Structure 1
Amino acid sequence: MKKPTHTPTYREALDGLLKAIDGAPTAPDHPIFKKWDDKEYFETLLMFSFRKQQAAEHHIGNVESMLETAEAAAIAAMKNKGKQAKNAVASSASLIVNSGPSTAYIHELSAFLAAVRSGLDFLAVAAARTTPGILAHSIHTLEKMVDKGQQGGILEVVKTHHAWLAELRDYRDEVVHRQVVQAPAEGWLVSTKGKTSKAIIPIVVPRRTPKRAFDTRRSRMMDNDVPLGLDRMESHGQVTFPDGTKKTIEHKVTFRPSASHVPIVELMTHHLLEYRKFSAEMFAVITKSGFGTVK
């Protein structure tokens, strides 16, 4: 039986490429390594792309830490039967305690997207050096070449991941250059209908490129029973006894992301995994090219 082909991980592919750089010759007629400094520059570009991957990991870690802290605070607060927060929004059946929109999550998301995009740009500049006739200043240069139907080598990797690259670019450009995504609500809910149900509100962001929304004093005054990007589900069951008395046997309120939104860590993890996959494939193609010496 034929053994399954091993797909190198991001780090395995990078280590393999670095070893290939070490073994590559330098000569005046070499396509890119004419002198030792050319190797140093090429490796520096690769390491910059790696550092941006580390930056992306850092921002995900920050978000995960904030989520853990917020959850612990919510659980502690829900156990406290004392006076609720001043900004609590009450109704006859439930109480949403909202610490307000959390802009910290959006700042981390914006920095994360910028890091991933920057890492792709460094990698594109390095990869383009191995292909005669290509001078790239960013990944967008390679994307435009693929759009024009050009093929071969590094462009095949770009073509394979074209949909993701476009998705990342649109989302990142909208968030970094054109708007600030509406901050997600952060807090918890306590609902009492015979029995008490408690729920922590999940932090969600738009699944696709976010649409522009007003950020004005008036818009911020608008109260929503259900925070943007979430669906509220409630189950409530009662039994009625022969004497007419009623008893609640079940009451539960939960929140889940609506179809248009996704948990923030899920979105960030998706883009980080795609970045690693794209990079690993690009590392392999560069290695196979012999840095432009293999036709």
Structure 2
Amino acid sequence: MKKPSPQPTYHDAMEMLLQAIDAALISSDHPIFKKEDDKEFYETQLMFSYRKQQAAQHHIDNVDTMLKTAKADAVKRAKAAAAKKHPDNVVASSASVTWSSEAYIHELSAFLAAIRSGLDFLAVAAGRSMKGMTNPSMHTLEGVEPKPHHGPAIHVVKAHASWLKELREYRDEVVHRVVVQAPTSGWLVSKKGKTSTVIIPVVVPRTTPKRGYDTRRSRALETDLPVGLSRSEWHASVGYDDGTTEVVEHKIRYEPADGYIPIAKFMARHNAEYRKFSAEMFAAIATVL
């Protein structure tokens, strides 16, 4: 049985499309390239979509740098807190530092805006290969019922309809309404016979966030457990015949709560989806030039 051909990578698919543009004849009968400027315009739209992917990667890199810097600082502070001496009669003590970092949300908003903008540039390019389409947005293409004269690009849109809708709704909520709470970043040290140190992960809603309050009252009512995180703790001790006890295990862990995901994973996933979708669109468009 013949193995299916692997899908071209993002860059390979774009290179093949550029080669198809170069090879296409300029003619009054051509559906797209009736004059030389048409090729210039077309390639520019594709490059704009590529530049937006570069912008998205830039924001991913910024978040990675912020996470590494915050972790290094948290580890340093946590070690200092763990090294502090406590009186022998203190059976449990803790030191913690947590803070909300709006910088993560700013990067996330810019990341989502870049991807959505890139999709719209790509939609304009794809629209040029579809009869009856004039500079459509990606949202416009999502609502089009495929017809034979539309060509293969519209079928790529339909195949990725679920992701496109998810991205659009999430982006519109975050960019236009700014409702995602700034994630908590920091560390915690707990001493209960043994010392447990944990770095608090930075998480965001996995799907379109629900509107929440951001008022003085809502902030005053915030609990010790950061939004979007679950906390688990293990503390076990054994007793001896002489009446003494010994702590044998003490661990604390923070993990994403249901419906939340580490911000780096969220951004990586949507960036990968964007590249996959774009590669398939490039390949589809190249077949009709």
| 2:64 aligned residue | 64
State TM-score, norm by structure 2: 0.93
Question: 1:289, 1:118 → 2: CA distance?
Answer: 24
- Corresponding pairs, count: 280
| 1:195 aligned residue | 194
Q: 1:30 and 1:217, CA in 2 relative to 1: closer, same or farther beyond 3 A?
A: same
Instruction: Kindly indicate whether residue 45 of structure 2 is the aligned counterpart of residue 45 of structure 1.
Output: yes
Q: What displacement does 1:122 show?
A: 0.2
* Residue aligned with 1:267, SS: helix
Question: 1:236, 1:101 → 2: CA distance?
Answer: 28
Question: 2:181, 2:221 → 1: CA distance?
Answer: 13
Instruction: Kindly indicate whether residue 236 of structure 2 is the aligned counterpart of residue 225 of structure 1.
Output: no
Question: In the alignment, is the contact (CA less than 8 A) between 2:179 and 2:212 conserved in 1?
Answer: no
Q: What displacement does 1:150 show?
A: 4.8
Question: 1:154, 1:4 → 2: CA distance?
Answer: 20
Question: In the alignment, is the contact (CA less than 8 A) between 1:74 and 1:187 conserved in 2?
Answer: yes
Q: Which amino acid aligns with 2:67?
A: L
Q: Which amino acid aligns with 2:194?
A: K
* Structure 2 alignment gaps of length 5 or more: 85-91
Question: In the alignment, is the contact (CA less than 8 A) between 2:82 and 2:195 conserved in 1?
Answer: no
Q: What displacement does 1:60 show?
A: 0.3
| 1:293 aligned residue | none
Question: In the alignment, is the contact (CA less than 8 A) between 1:236 and 1:251 conserved in 2?
Answer: yes
* Residue aligned with 2:187, SS: strand
Q: What displacement does 1:32 show?
A: 1.1
| 2:113 aligned residue | 114
| 2:9 aligned residue | 9
| 2:89 aligned residue | none
Q: 1:150 and 1:163, CA in 2 relative to 1: closer, same or farther beyond 3 A?
A: farther
Deviation string for 1:170-194 (max 9, x for gaps)?
0000001122310011110111111
* Structure 1 alignment gaps of length 5 or more: 85-91, 291-295
* Residue aligned with 1:252, SS: strand
| 1:129 aligned residue | 128
Q: What displacement does 1:218 show?
A: 1.6
Range 238-247 or range 149-158, more displaced = 149-158
Deviation string for 1:114-136 (max 9, x for gaps)?
00000000000000101111224
Question: In the alignment, is the contact (CA less than 8 A) between 1:136 and 1:142 conserved in 2?
Answer: no
Question: 2:287, 2:82 → 1: CA distance?
Answer: 66
Q: Which amino acid aligns with 1:113?
A: L
| 1:24 aligned residue | 24
* Residue aligned with 1:145, SS: coil
| 2:177 aligned residue | 178
State TM-score, norm by structure 1: 0.91
Deviation string for 1:4-50 (max 9, x for gaps)?
41210000000000011111110122111111110000000000000
Quote the RMSD (CA, aligned, Å): 1.7
Q: What displacement does 1:244 show?
A: 1.6
Question: 1:179, 1:252 → 2: CA distance?
Answer: 35
Question: 2:57, 2:164 → 1: CA distance?
Answer: 19
Deviation string for 1:73-115 (max 9, x for gaps)?
011111224999xxxxxxx6433211x2100000000000000
Q: Which amino acid aligns with 2:220?
A: M
Question: 1:215, 1:70 → 2: CA distance?
Answer: 24
| 1:162 aligned residue | 161
Q: Which amino acid aligns with 1:108?
A: E
1:229-268 aligned within 5 A: 229-268=228-267
Question: In the alignment, is the contact (CA less than 8 A) between 1:94 and 1:191 conserved in 2?
Answer: yes
Question: In the alignment, is the contact (CA less than 8 A) between 1:32 and 1:129 conserved in 2?
Answer: yes
Range 213-222 or range 196-205, more displaced = 213-222
Question: 2:268, 2:106 → 1: CA distance?
Answer: 16
Question: 1:81, 1:209 → 2: CA distance?
Answer: 38
Question: In the alignment, is the contact (CA less than 8 A) between 1:78 and 1:190 conserved in 2?
Answer: yes
Deviation string for 1:194-226 (max 9, x for gaps)?
111000000000011001111111222224121
Question: 1:96, 1:222 → 2: CA distance?
Answer: 19
